[in-house]
Amino acid sequence: MPNILIIDDEPSNRLLLTYTAPDPDTIFVEVGSAKEARFHLSREQFDFAVVDLELPDEHGFTIVELLRQEMPSCKILITTASDSPDAIENACQKGALAYIIKPFDITTVKNIFAELAAHQTGMILVGNRMTKNIITCD
Protein backbone atom coordinates (compact mmCIF):
# COMPACT_ATOMS: atom_id res chain seq x y z
CA MET A 1 0.00 0.00 0.00
CA PRO A 2 1.51 3.36 -1.04
CA ASN A 3 2.29 6.03 1.52
CA ILE A 4 1.85 9.53 0.04
CA LEU A 5 2.89 12.86 1.55
CA ILE A 6 0.89 15.84 0.26
CA ILE A 7 2.43 19.24 0.96
CA ASP A 8 0.18 22.12 -0.06
CA ASP A 9 -0.99 25.18 1.87
CA GLU A 10 -4.44 25.03 0.23
CA PRO A 11 -6.68 22.52 2.09
CA SER A 12 -8.90 22.12 -0.99
CA ASN A 13 -5.91 20.99 -3.09
CA ARG A 14 -4.89 18.50 -0.41
CA LEU A 15 -8.42 17.11 -0.28
CA LEU A 16 -8.62 16.82 -4.06
CA LEU A 17 -5.32 14.94 -4.15
CA THR A 18 -6.59 12.36 -1.65
CA TYR A 19 -9.10 11.26 -4.30
CA THR A 20 -6.25 10.25 -6.62
CA ALA A 21 -5.10 7.18 -4.70
CA PRO A 22 -3.29 4.67 -6.90
CA ASP A 23 -4.44 1.93 -4.53
CA PRO A 24 -7.54 1.78 -2.29
CA ASP A 25 -5.30 1.15 0.73
CA THR A 26 -3.18 4.25 0.12
CA ILE A 27 -2.18 6.15 3.23
CA PHE A 28 -2.14 9.95 2.86
CA VAL A 29 -0.35 12.36 5.15
CA GLU A 30 -1.51 15.91 4.45
CA VAL A 31 0.44 18.98 5.59
CA GLY A 32 0.17 22.70 4.86
CA SER A 33 3.74 23.86 5.43
CA ALA A 34 7.38 22.90 5.02
CA LYS A 35 7.73 22.74 8.82
CA GLU A 36 5.00 20.11 9.05
CA ALA A 37 6.53 18.23 6.11
CA ARG A 38 9.93 18.13 7.80
CA PHE A 39 8.30 16.72 10.95
CA HIS A 40 6.76 13.79 9.01
CA LEU A 41 9.83 13.25 6.84
CA SER A 42 11.90 12.72 9.97
CA ARG A 43 9.53 9.98 11.19
CA GLU A 44 8.05 8.20 8.17
CA GLN A 45 8.97 6.81 4.76
CA PHE A 46 6.97 7.83 1.69
CA ASP A 47 6.54 6.25 -1.73
CA PHE A 48 5.28 9.50 -3.27
CA ALA A 49 5.41 13.16 -2.33
CA VAL A 50 3.28 15.88 -3.88
CA VAL A 51 5.01 19.19 -3.26
CA ASP A 52 3.53 22.64 -3.87
CA LEU A 53 6.30 25.06 -4.79
CA GLU A 54 4.73 28.08 -3.09
CA LEU A 55 4.58 27.19 0.60
CA PRO A 56 4.07 29.83 3.29
CA ASP A 57 7.32 29.14 5.15
CA GLU A 58 9.76 27.82 2.53
CA HIS A 59 10.04 27.27 -1.19
CA GLY A 60 8.95 23.78 -2.18
CA PHE A 61 12.27 23.08 -3.89
CA THR A 62 13.97 22.94 -0.47
CA ILE A 63 11.64 20.08 0.46
CA VAL A 64 12.35 18.39 -2.87
CA GLU A 65 16.09 18.56 -2.12
CA LEU A 66 15.51 17.11 1.35
CA LEU A 67 13.45 14.28 -0.14
CA ARG A 68 16.20 13.48 -2.63
CA GLN A 69 18.74 13.26 0.19
CA GLU A 70 16.63 11.40 2.76
CA MET A 71 14.37 9.25 0.55
CA PRO A 72 15.95 8.78 -2.87
CA SER A 73 13.34 6.22 -3.95
CA CYS A 74 10.41 8.57 -3.20
CA LYS A 75 8.68 9.68 -6.41
CA ILE A 76 8.13 13.43 -6.39
CA LEU A 77 5.34 15.36 -8.07
CA ILE A 78 5.51 19.15 -8.18
CA THR A 79 2.28 21.17 -8.16
CA THR A 80 2.27 24.88 -8.92
CA ALA A 81 0.40 27.56 -10.82
CA SER A 82 3.60 28.49 -12.68
CA ASP A 83 4.40 27.14 -16.11
CA SER A 84 7.78 28.91 -16.14
CA PRO A 85 10.35 27.04 -18.24
CA ASP A 86 12.98 27.81 -15.57
CA ALA A 87 10.85 26.25 -12.82
CA ILE A 88 10.17 23.17 -14.98
CA GLU A 89 13.89 22.78 -15.73
CA ASN A 90 14.75 23.26 -12.05
CA ALA A 91 12.20 20.62 -11.04
CA CYS A 92 13.71 18.18 -13.51
CA GLN A 93 17.24 18.88 -12.28
CA LYS A 94 16.17 18.35 -8.68
CA GLY A 95 14.70 14.93 -9.46
CA ALA A 96 10.96 15.53 -9.67
CA LEU A 97 9.19 13.11 -11.97
CA ALA A 98 6.04 15.13 -12.60
CA TYR A 99 5.30 18.84 -12.87
CA ILE A 100 1.57 19.51 -12.55
CA ILE A 101 0.29 22.98 -13.41
CA LYS A 102 -2.70 24.09 -11.35
CA PRO A 103 -5.58 23.90 -11.67
CA PHE A 104 -5.55 20.15 -12.24
CA ASP A 105 -8.25 17.52 -12.36
CA ILE A 106 -8.51 14.25 -10.42
CA THR A 107 -8.40 11.99 -13.47
CA THR A 108 -5.16 13.52 -14.71
CA VAL A 109 -3.46 13.10 -11.34
CA LYS A 110 -4.75 9.52 -10.97
CA ASN A 111 -3.19 8.71 -14.34
CA ILE A 112 0.09 10.29 -13.27
CA PHE A 113 0.25 8.19 -10.09
CA ALA A 114 -0.40 5.08 -12.17
CA GLU A 115 2.40 5.99 -14.59
CA LEU A 116 4.83 6.90 -11.84
CA ALA A 117 4.32 3.54 -10.16
CA ALA A 118 6.36 2.06 -13.03
CA HIS A 119 8.20 5.18 -14.20
CA GLN A 120 11.97 4.92 -14.62
CA THR A 121 13.33 8.02 -16.35
CA GLY A 122 12.19 11.32 -17.74
CA MET A 123 9.61 13.75 -16.49
CA ILE A 124 5.89 14.19 -17.00
CA LEU A 125 4.60 17.71 -17.61
CA VAL A 126 0.89 18.23 -17.17
CA GLY A 127 -0.88 21.50 -17.77
CA ASN A 128 -4.46 22.47 -17.10
CA ARG A 129 -6.64 21.10 -19.89
CA MET A 130 -3.53 19.96 -21.77
CA THR A 131 -2.61 16.48 -22.81
CA LYS A 132 0.32 14.83 -21.15
CA ASN A 133 3.78 15.58 -22.47
CA ILE A 134 6.90 13.61 -21.60
CA ILE A 135 10.08 15.59 -21.15
CA THR A 136 13.26 13.58 -20.73
CA CYS A 137 15.79 14.88 -18.24
CA ASP A 138 18.89 13.60 -20.01
CA dist 88 and 91 (Å) reads 5
Q: Which domains does the chain have, with CATH numbers?
A: 3-135 (3.40.50.2300)
The helix, strand and coil proportions of the chain, stated in percent and rounded to the nearest 5, come to: 35, 25, 40
Residue 122: pLDDT band by 50, 70, 90 thresholds?
low
What pLDDT digit, counting tens, does each position of 57-87 carry? 999 999 999 999 999 999 898 988 888 888 8
CA angle centred on 46, ends 63 and 94, rounded to 5°: 35
Query: Structure pTM?
Result: 0.85
pLDDT at 99 over 80: yes
pLDDT (mean) for 16-20 = 87
